[in-house]
Amino acid sequence: MRPFLRIAAITLGGLLIWQALVTLFDLPRFILPGPQLVLSTLWTSRVLIAEHTLVTSAEILLGLAFGAGLGFGSAILLAASPLARTILRPVLVFSQAVPVFALAPILTLWMGYGLWSKVAMALLIIYFPVTSAFLDALMRTPPGWLELARVLNATPGRVLWRIKVPAAMPGFASGLRLASVYAPIGAIIGEWVGASQGLGYLMLLANGRAKIDLMFAALIVLAVLTLALHATVDWLCKRVWAA
């Protein structure tokens, strides 16, 4: 109950500050609409916003699933093979020198304006954090556990899957928590570059038509969606891996 009251108090305080800014500075609605107008628009446009929310949610969840799976597999490969670390790790680091946002137009050109270019964008933006966090955890297995495995003559495969991977799952969980926050960013950027559906597309459309209240309503829904996703991933990580 206390977390709920804390969230409610923070939300109420934010709304009061928002309304105070609008009132004190007499801001026009096309600059900053008041919370009452935005909430009213959120209700009257609920069907429209819900349709676009479903599209963005699908993009985020698919990007998160594929990105987490690819990051998991890549980290396992890098941890198991010194040759892979020598060849692929510099490539992985170098890939971050190219701003992921700059790749959005290329992905849209190659994959079209549909769902998959946004999924690919979300995948790219979360791939490195998941891989990096999990690989770092895999390389930091407690030395005592590895020494015990050597005493028992465990094969490298058993050491990897029975000792290193279980010990590194909290690191993988940390990567997933970051990914749950970054994945919506990738999906929205992809929608801004080129889309006909989604919350990012709706925000651009509303901005172009000077419907700033609708733009803020879509932004609020996106923020709530991201917070809900992060809370869900955090709960699952604690439930499954106690991490």
**DSSP codes joined into one string, 164-204:** IHHHHHHHHHHHHHHHHHHHHHHHHHHHHHS-SSSHHHHHH
Residue 137 forms part of a structural domain: yes
Provide the Cα torsion 208, 209, 213, 215; round to 10°: -30
In the block, tokens 């050109």 appear at 109
Domain enclosing residue 110, as ranges = 33-241
- Give buried/exposed letters for 84-96 (b at 16+ CB in 10 A, else e): ebeeeeeebeeee
- CATH number of the structural domain spanning residue 226: 1.10.3720.10
In the block, tokens 């009452």 appear at 36
Phi, psi of 66 (to 5 degrees): -65, -40
Per-residue pLDDT of the chain in tens (243 residues, 90 and over written 9): 566 777 778 888 888 898 888 888 888 888 889 899 999 999 999 999 999 999 999 999 999 999 999 999 999 999 988 888 888 888 787 777 778 788 888 888 899 888 999 999 999 999 999 999 999 999 998 888 888 888 888 888 889 999 999 999 999 999 999 999 999 999 999 999 988 899 999 999 999 898 999 999 999 999 999 999 999 999 999 988 776
User: How many domains in the chain?
Assistant: 1
Residue 19 forms part of a structural domain: no
